[in-house]
Amino acid sequence: MADPKKNDSADRQQQRVEIERTRFKSFLLQNPNYFGNLEQSEFKPVKVIKSNTAFEQMVCVGLNPPYDRLEAVVQIKQDNGYGGDICGPGTREYVRFYVDLHDNGVWHDVGVSSVRVYDIPGDKPICYAVRRDFNPFRKFCLFENIVKVRAILQWNAPPPANSPNYTPVYGNVVNVQVQIRPRKFFPWGDLVKEFEAVQIKFPDPVGPVIKSLDPSIKLTAIDVPPLTVAEKQKLYKGKNVPVHRYAFQEVQQFLAMSNPGALTAVGKSPLVELGLSQSVIDDLVGKLFPTDGDTSFEELRCVGLYPEADLIEAVVTVKKSTGYSGGLCGNGSLEYVAFWIDVGDGSGFQYQGTATVNVFDLQTIPDEDVQYAVFLKTDLSKFRVPCAAGPRIVKLRGILSWSTPPPPGNPNYVPVWGNREECRVQLHPGKVEGHIPLIETVGDILVPDINQITGLATGDGQIGAFSVLDSPFGGEVRITGRIGNPPNSFGGGATPFKYRVEVFGPAPFNTWTPLTNPIVVGVSEWFNGNPVMCAPGDFVCDTTLTPTDDADGFGPGWYTYLEDTQGVNQRFLVVDKLASWSTSAAMEGLWQIRITAKDPSGPVLFPGFQVVRVRIDNTRPSGPAGPGATQAQIEANPPLAITGATLNGNPLPAVGCGKFPVGAIITGTYEVHDPGVTSPNQHFGSLSLTVSPAGPANGASPNPSSRSYPLPVPTTGEAGTWTLDTSGMDPCGYVLRLYAADRTNVNSTGNAYDMAYDVGFCLEPAQR
């Protein structure tokens, strides 16, 4: 018989965990160290919870080198504890990435990414994916560039920036090593520095000649042809690379020949002509039809989906230093990962596409192996259902195959080199019929994170590494999205769709106006699952789109939609950029954005169902003289001033040139606002008062030193007084700076509008 006390204890434990999940943010607001996960804090822990992975866990992290894209897969393990069902806001799983860019032990914060999760009953785990692009330090292909990556997962609150040793409450930390894509061309001067960095010296008399060359000359790696079987046999002699590995690609080419008679045309196996003996050939062919894939060289570790963008991701582990058909200056070989989706409607697994990543022989493989990531953009809109119908959970299958792509029509394919991995994934809610266009982000913020009453955004940048809090938009507002189920226009002969983005604002802008400026988009083209290089060392082509008036009665502003995920040849936008909207100070207020698509071959219109409301604020914070004031007006009514000083409690007389004795307490005023053009804004963000240079100030700072304005206390700014105790400061010339910023998301980067004003003063030794 079960122990009732034990069951009661388990019930209380479950209740306790749920309370700590549901009140997670309020506990942190009450006490930042409530869960005892901070290394240093003046707050005492209340209930210690560190790296709890009972609800979510990050299971793998990797890098897709061509796109400099870090990816991670997070598994959700429980039915509840994620903020509500699929029709609610849910909560977010945050992953912050750090990279040891120069392989010198210094972690660089490259940003945070997140994915929305919900309470979903049923079988677990459910696998979600996140990604973050960054700018690596690249080396010439003669020098391997394997660096460390650290990813920190935390539920419902982003891990703090620039804190690589942070311990999450709910979540975990994963450390991996990745290979940065090499340069195939390099300035000669930089190459010389690379040799010197690894202590390779050029001997005389060559050394002085080499160093005298123009350092700006670009050195380009020789275009190396693929290695022959004989060359690979010689390269891998004594390195434990079996023949059915290094001759695998050539054998597969023979097996795929459309004229099988050519196999015996010379009276003997063509493999003999490649330099292989008959005994080696017998051993090779006998291993080409496995019952299970060989994962001794590479292994598919995880698959996941980023639902908001229908982005499938996976991580591949490369385990050995040789057996990948050459080094970084050569061609290497390809790891293919084909993906299928089973939506549970009886039709079985449906092919979605194949992704690849280029791998190479590396001199050393670290203990953690090397983690490569792949991704595939697809269109799952036809499988979506409204949130009222409940969550749509489907099976995602990935099959890894080295050197040979899995056949699209065989979801049960068993690779010679590789394996299969599956996980349940959640599709984005909301039924999208036909070719409906969709706005996904405005200013790099997801549309669901933009309050449709106020037009202010609270959320994370989807490309940039930033977060905003009740923020308006300003400057260049980038708009991303897509058109549902576009035609097979890339190699398929169909006419590409077009789209138009329009905006509607307050008077005098209260008419729907199309955006007509040219935009630059990054395009990637894939043939049979292989990305095609269109610039040296890069896979991405920049293409300029100029809108047209097609004289079909629908007016101007129609951009060509380049994305095509249909068929074996695909073209997609690396970032789903649809438009770039240049805003100005005269355009402040609440605006609306809508999108329309059309099939020019009809022509037929496909109106979007969204009207997205955003607030524009392009006015910088300013002092009491107001925005646009002249320098004379600012000096007459400055935002920062020194008004007096005391020493030992006694007022000091006014001293010219702002000179004070060490030990004086200097006082003054400050005033700064975010006034707006047409009416006062309540988008003020922060202000700070600082002293520089900091060294001789010895830690002294004005009081108050900084102020920020989190919600729910919106403000138009602040005026007040400040003091600075100069005791302990060195005699020196100083600058007191007032810095203020609003909360505007400027140029879709998360950067705010700001202002600064300086006042100088001098400290002299106190008289004795």
- Report pLDDT for 522: 84
The predicted model gives 376-400 an average pLDDT of 92
What is the dihedral sign for C-alpha 532, 533, 538, 544?
A: negative
Strand pairing partners for 467? 460
Q: What's the rounded Cα separation, in Å, for the pair 96 and 314?
A: 18
Output the pLDDT for position 498.
97
Between residues 714 and 21, the one the model is more confident about: 21
- Estimate to the nearest angstrom the gap between the alpha carbon of 477 and the chain centroid: 18
CA distance 758 to 726: 18
What is the model's pLDDT at position 8?
46
**Token pair listed for 194:** 């690379």
Say if CB 125 and CB 90 are below 8 A apart: no
pLDDT at position 648 over 60: yes
Element housing 298 (H / E): strand 298-306
> 583-614 pLDDT, tens per residue?
999 999 999 999 999 999 999 999 998 999 99
Reported as a pLDDT band with limits 50, 70 and 90, residue 5 is: very low
Determine the pLDDT at residue 249.
77
Residue range 92-109, pLDDT digits in tens: 999 999 999 988 899 999
What is the per-residue pLDDT for 709? 73
SS3 of 550, please?
Answer: coil
Read off the amino acid at residue 493.
Answer: G
Instruction: Quote the pLDDT of residue 656.
Output: 58
Residue 104 contacts residue 147 (beta carbons within 8 Å) = no
Domains of the chain as residue ranges with CATH: 1-48 (no CATH), 56-183+295-426 (no CATH), 185-220 (no CATH), 229-285 (no CATH), 437-616 (no CATH), 631-764 (2.60.40.3880)
pLDDT at 616 over 60: yes
Is the pLDDT assigned to residue 2 strictly greater than 70? no
Number of Cβ atoms within 10 Å of the Cβ of 255: 12
Per cent of the chain over pLDDT 90 is 58
pLDDT digits (tens, 9 = 90+) for 342-370: 999 999 999 998 899 999 999 888 888 99
Least confident range of 12-21, 667-676, 688-697, 728-737? 12-21
Closest CA to 598 of 550, 543, 545: 550
State residue 584's pLDDT score. Answer: 94
Dump pLDDT digits (tens) for 16-69: 557 889 899 999 988 999 999 998 888 999 999 999 999 999 999 999 998 899
Q: Are 557 and 547 in contact (CB under 8 A)?
A: yes
**Per-residue pLDDT at 377:** 86
pLDDT single digits (tens) 229-247: 888 888 988 898 888 788 8
* Residue 390 to residue 118: CA distance in whole angstroms: 11
